[in-house]
Amino acid sequence: MQQIIFFDIDGTLFDHDKRLPRSTKQAIQSLKEKGHEVAIATGRAPFMFADLREELDIQTFVSYNGQYVVLKGEVIYTNPLNKKALQSLTDAAVLNNHPIVYMDHEDMKANVPHHHYIVESIDTLKIEKFPTHNPNYFKEREIYQSLLFCQEKQEEFYEKEFKPFDFIRWHPVSVDVIPAGGSKAKGIEKITEKLGVGKESIFAFGDGLNDVDMLKTIDNSIAMGNGHVLAKKAAKYITKSVDEDGILHGLRMVGLLD
């Protein structure tokens, strides 16, 4: 029976140096040879993992934590941030000296010319593209996710004040800002409904806070050994760490590979 397997990127497909382990690449190739569908479910923007999609020959993905969904190269679902609420969030963030980056499917722009929080966090992604300055970018485009840069716990103020958004921490100085109720799980649902795939045939691997809803919702969920404690708690299975051939081990654990 054909199954569909969704993989997070950072800490799941990629190790801590943002490299794809050889065993992971071989495991994904083996899945395809067996006739399974392989997809990505990430908080990253589409332009942040184009090389990975090409390397693994993957045309189906959930990006921006579920807000921009592509099935076999075709955009099937988008869920942009509310512009009026985003303006209010920006106003509050400016008062608190917390920069914001606005992201659509093609690019990302910051509301300040430079800030060390932006440099510090974006550098960890090891990508070539870096946000340039355009404080009006969100007024001109559909924004699917923003990055709010603040210290841990400081997002609690925004969580109380801005109910149209969910705030998910991905770095000590940055949180993802997505539409309230949006998640990778919702994005995955859009794909599997289109394909007519039953829940028993859906698998998902993840490690972070933005994977918790996905791991909790999908029956066949696997958390990485290096994952956040809440991701492990949400998952049905826990595999080894990404740098201990965790993907290959997890696929064998759930019977998808020998």
Catalytic residues: 8
- Are residues 76 and 70 in contact, defined by beta-carbon separation less than 8 angstroms? yes
In angstroms, the CA 181 to CA 116 distance is: 30
Tokens of 182: 């949006």
- Are residues 76 and 197 in contact, defined by beta-carbon separation less than 8 angstroms? no
Tokens of 62: 């959930």
Other CB atoms within a 10 A radius of the CB of residue 45 amount to: 22
Spacing of C-alpha 71 from chain mean position:
16
Burial class (CB in 10 A: 0-12, 13-18, 19+), 9: buried
The length of the chain, given as a count of residues: 258
Spacing of C-alpha 41 from chain mean position:
6
Spacing of C-alpha 2 from chain mean position:
24
In angstroms, the CA 66 to CA 143 distance is: 13
Helix, strand, coil distribution of the chain in percent, nearest 5:
40, 25, 40
Strands (E), 68-193: 68-71, 74-78, 100-103, 108-110, 132-133, 145-148, 165-171, 174-179
